[in-house]
Structure 1
Amino acid sequence: MLISGLFHVAIRTADLDKTVSFYVSALGLKEVPRPANLDFPGAWLAVPNAMGQVIVHVYAGSAAKDIAGRAPVNNEAGAVDHISLTAQGYLKYRARFQKLGISAREQNHNGGTNWQMFIHDPNGIKIELTFDQAAEPDLPVPIEAERRYWASERFFNPKEYVS
């Protein structure tokens, strides 16, 4: 028996356009065709390489709603704390999030080789981008105290995400 990787993550949203826009413009994923037989709104988002591996499924409409008819608005009540994606371009992502006005937190434990950057999507789902220092020519860099990540801090601000 063997788990060989993460196939995809499914996200429920009340605002499909805002969610897709975030994953495309802030993270650089690309929208790809989804099966025509799905009878609810949504999007499939892929890694922007030749293979275009789908890693994020977004559900909207009735598929996104709970038994009371509500779509989730943040991850405060959920058991999953965050999604971690491997990434390249640490300083470019830092600059992109600053330009987009998206709060980010960063960490590098004890000078280790992995650097992390934490952000939220428009639904409040925390996303960790993990960078390998060996593949990042600009690392190490200082992390200002106000940008340092603390697992217990809740820094999601829905006002940062414009449609």
Structure 2
Amino acid sequence: MASHSSPLPVVSLNHVSLLCSSVQDSVKFYHQVLGFEPIKRPSSFNFEGAWLYNYGVSIHLLQRDSEPQVLPKSSEINPKGNHISFQCADIGIVRKRLEEMGIKYVAAVVAEGGIMVDQLFFHDPDCYMIEICDCHKIPIVPLSSALLLKPQQSCVRGNWNYKRYHSFAGYVAKDTKDDEILKDQRTV
């Protein structure tokens, strides 16, 4: 791959696309379990599918053709496998709701510098792995000053919209919703 001085001008994650054995079953799962709402999909598509939206991202579900196509096969829940991760406000409530819905899950804990992050992993109807976590507890700390964003750029983390601001000592993360400083200055 050729080396370029700057990355592509990407601004955000738009959607995740998943191949399904039953679009109807997957719509029901993503709506009832994760709160995604069905949205209008372009009528020009000549294949079955559905679009859902919530949390600033879309999930595009595509009906698998009758021809064999690759779908996840393992019923084993392996936290090290490919997965989609969602932020939650209360991991205890999520755990209780998964149990009430009869959804099998695997729990994991990540410890970093005295911070404990809880993770719950489970499968959708086609064995795509989903993670629910309280990962907001771990601060985003750049490994180099190149990762600091310019003041006009933002990144979405959970339900908060952060902007990074340069400072002599490091950076601060500022909540653009209510203008309250969320993180103290950090040395980079």
Pairing 1:19–2:26 present: yes
Q: Which residue of 2 aligns with 1:106?
A: 107
Q: Identity across aligned pairs (percent)?
A: 27
How far apart are 1:37 and its partner, in Å? 1.2
Instruction: Provide the C-alpha distance between the structure 2 equivalents of 1:33 and 1:113, rounded to a whole number of angstroms.
Output: 39
Unaligned runs of 5+ in 1: 136-163
State the TM-score, normalizing by the size of structure 1.
Answer: 0.64
Q: Which residue of 1 aligns with 2:92?
A: 91
Instruction: Provide the C-alpha distance between the structure 1 equivalents of 2:27 and 2:120, rounded to a whole number of angstroms.
Output: 20
Which structure's residues are more often helix, by fraction?
Answer: 1
Which structure's residues are more often strand, by fraction?
Answer: 2
State the TM-score, normalizing by the size of structure 2.
Answer: 0.57
Runs (4+) of structure 1 exceeding 3 A deviation are: 2-5
How far apart are 1:42 and its partner, in Å? 1.0
Instruction: Provide the C-alpha distance between the structure 2 equivalents of 1:105 and 1:112, rounded to a whole number of angstroms.
Output: 20
Q: CA RMSD in A?
A: 2.5
Return the letter of the residue paired with 2:72. Answer: N
Q: Which has the higher contact order (CA 8 A, sep 6+)?
A: 1
Instruction: Provide the C-alpha distance between the structure 1 equivalents of 2:98 and 2:33, rounded to a whole number of angstroms.
Output: 7
8 Å contact kept, 1:11–1:59: yes
User: Within 5 A, what are the aligned runs for 1:1-163?
Assistant: 1=7, 3-47=10-54, 53-60=56-63, 64-65=64-65, 69-76=67-74, 81-110=82-111, 112-131=115-134, 132-133=136-137
How many positions carry a matched residue from both structures? 123
8 Å contact kept, 1:20–1:43: yes
Q: 1:73 to 1:106 in 2, by over 3 A?
A: same
8 Å contact kept, 2:13–2:57: no
Instruction: Provide the C-alpha distance between the structure 2 equivalents of 1:55 and 1:42, rounded to a whole number of angstroms.
Output: 13
Instruction: Provide the C-alpha distance between the structure 2 equivalents of 1:89 and 1:21, rounded to a whole number of angstroms.
Output: 23
Return the letter of the residue paired with 1:118. Answer: F
Q: 1:96 to 1:71 in 2, by over 3 A?
A: farther
